[in-house]
């Protein structure tokens, strides 16, 4: 009798959990990027074991990306337990967003280095990563500055994502308009959940 009942109970328990689906799985993928200090980063494996809050931005963005970065800072400020949580911002404008520019951006927004990483890389590698995450970006508005250099703004995906320690994206949100509380609640939902070890 027990042999029959036990599998049923396990099956019921599994069916009762609301484990969020895997949206993108980067568990077996690797992308060669660099951070704001020009240190090589293998993404996402170098963050293995951490939950990642990920935003996609470019530093010349005048409005939306800065709102998203502010949201990221708010999440880090409001998160009571920051153990095993890292914040990653990935640029979709690697041509202009060099490590030095990203370093300046971090300082401008007072993003703590122990929690935040700003990632850039070769254009092809960034495009490969963004494509696997379904993130779009394209040049929209071109101008020329006084030095004669071309400048531009971009149309882009507005998103914050939560990745689990196995490199799987579990939640995605409209980055600039989602209240930080929502993201924190979802993060805490999967942190330490028994189903999340598989």
* Token pair in block for residue 16: 């009762």
Q: Produce one character per residue of 51-82: b if its CB has 16 or more CB atoms within 10 Å, e if not.
A: bbbbbbbbbbbeebbbebbebbbebbeebeee
Rounded to a whole number of angstroms, the minimum distance from the CB of residue 32 to another protein is 26
- 102 is an interface residue for another protein by CB under 8 A: no
- 74 is an interface residue for another protein by CB under 8 A: yes
Distance from chain centroid for Cα 81: 18
Rounded to a whole number of angstroms, the minimum distance from the CB of residue 160 to another protein is 11
- 62 is an interface residue for another protein by CB under 8 A: yes
- 80 is an interface residue for another protein by CB under 8 A: no
Rounded CA separation 156/140 (Å): 9
Whether residue 128 contacts residue 99, with contact meaning beta carbons closer than 8 Å, is answered with no
Rounded CA separation 128/141 (Å): 24
Strand order in the sheet with 24-25: 24-25, 168-174, 159-163, 51-57, 85-91, 116-119
- Contact segment (CB under 8 A) with another protein among 36-44, 45-53, 107-115, 122-130 equals 107-115
Within 10 angstroms of residue 151's Cβ, the number of other Cβ atoms is 12
Residues forming a β-bridge with 163: 52, 169
**What is the footprint of another protein within residues 158-177 (CB under 8 A)?**
158-159, 173-174, 176-177
- Contact segment (CB under 8 A) with another protein among 24-32, 45-53, 82-90, 156-164 equals 156-164
Nearer to another protein, 47 or 106 (CB): 106
Whether residue 33 contacts residue 124, with contact meaning beta carbons closer than 8 Å, is answered with no
> Contact with another protein (CB under 8 A): which of 64, 128, 132, 191?
64
Number of residues binding to another protein, judged by CB under 8 A: 41
Nearer to another protein, 96 or 122 (CB): 96
Binding site for another protein (CB under 8 A): 18, 20, 59-64, 66-67, 70, 73-74, 77, 101, 104-105, 108-110, 136, 140-141, 143, 145-146, 151, 153, 155-159, 173-174, 176-178, 182, 185-186
């Amino acid at each position: 009798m027990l042999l029959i009942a036990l599998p049923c109970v396990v099956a019921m328990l599994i069916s009762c959990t609301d484990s969020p689906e895997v949206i993108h799985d980067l568990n077996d993928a690797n992308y060669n990027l660099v951070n704001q200090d020009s240190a090589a980063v293998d993404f996402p494996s170098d963050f293995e074991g951490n939950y990642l809050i990920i935003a996609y931005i470019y530093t010349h963005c005048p409005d939306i990306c800065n709102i998203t970065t502010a949201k990221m800072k708010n999440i880090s400020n409001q998160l009571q337990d920051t153990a095993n949580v890292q914040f990653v911002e990935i640029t979709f404008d690697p041509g202009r967003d060099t490590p030095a520019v990203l370093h300046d951006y971090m300082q401008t927004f007072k993003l703590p280095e122990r929690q935040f990483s700003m990632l850039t890389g070769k254009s092809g590698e960034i495009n490969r990563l963004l494509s696997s995450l379904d993130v779009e970006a394209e040049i929209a508005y071109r101008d020329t500055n006084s030095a004669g250099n071309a400048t531009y703004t971009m149309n882009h995906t507005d998103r914050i994502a939560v990745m689990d320690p196995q490199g799987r994206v579990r939640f995605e949100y409209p980055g600039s308009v989602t209240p930080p509380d929502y993201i924190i609640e979802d993060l805490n939902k999967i942190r330490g959940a028994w189903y999340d070890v598989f």
